[in-house]
Amino acid sequence: MNAASNNGPPEGEPVSLWVATAGTTDYPVLRGDLEVDVAVIGAGVAGLTAALALKRTGQTVAVIDTARVGTGVTGHTTGKVTSLHRLAYSELARKHGDEAARTYGQANQSAVEHISQLVAEEAIDCDFRRVANYTYAETDDALDLVRVEANLAAGLGLPAAFTTEVPLPFPVKGAVRF
């Protein structure tokens, strides 16, 4: 396996939409010592969000990364911000109980709201929009699983519903919709 360069994936790997279309960033290399309250390692969504939150509390912050901003994990994601993650709520409830699943869901819903608010406050030009997202089933066995997930998530107070109307170019049996 080839090591990734500072500007993209390993040779032969596909380049994500985000890396291919984002403008370049050019920040000086840190030379010598720098005294700050907090050093944030990583200039992706998580690192930059943490740095901004710290800065808003009056901390001095340095963001350090080995590559171009947003070209690590963030640059190779789908860019989807959601609280629906496959069948996570059923799995969490089974392993840890409904309260753990509810806590996970509330934390994820809070994160979606935080990102929406941050995009608005900072006027971030990122095409953020709220659209429905789905975990769908193509078989009868999977249909039972998504139906259980939808009912459980709704019962936990999450914006979930079971549906058979899914905007896909192929037939599905049904889906949980958030």
- Which pLDDT score is estimated for 74? 82
Q: What is the pLDDT of residues 9-40, one digit of tens each?
A: 567 777 777 788 877 777 888 899 999 999 99
Q: Are 75 and 87 in contact (CB under 8 A)?
A: no
Examine the pLDDT at 129 and tell me if it is beyond 70: yes
- The pLDDT confidence band at residue 3, using thresholds 50, 70 and 90, is very low
Examine the pLDDT at 8 and tell me if it is beyond 60: no
Residue 109: phi, psi to the nearest 5?
-65, -40
Q: Which helix (H) or strand (E) holds 105?
A: helix 98-121
pTM, rounded to two decimals = 0.76
Residue 82: phi, psi to the nearest 5?
-155, 160
Give 18-33 as a DSSP string.
HHHHSPP---PPP-S-
How many Å apart are CA 123 and CA 70, to the nearest integer?
Answer: 18
Examine the pLDDT at 162 and tell me if it is beyond 80: yes
Share of the chain above pLDDT 70, in %: 94
Q: What is the pLDDT of residues 57-109, one digit of tens each?
A: 999 999 999 888 888 888 888 778 899 999 999 999 999 999 999 999 999 99
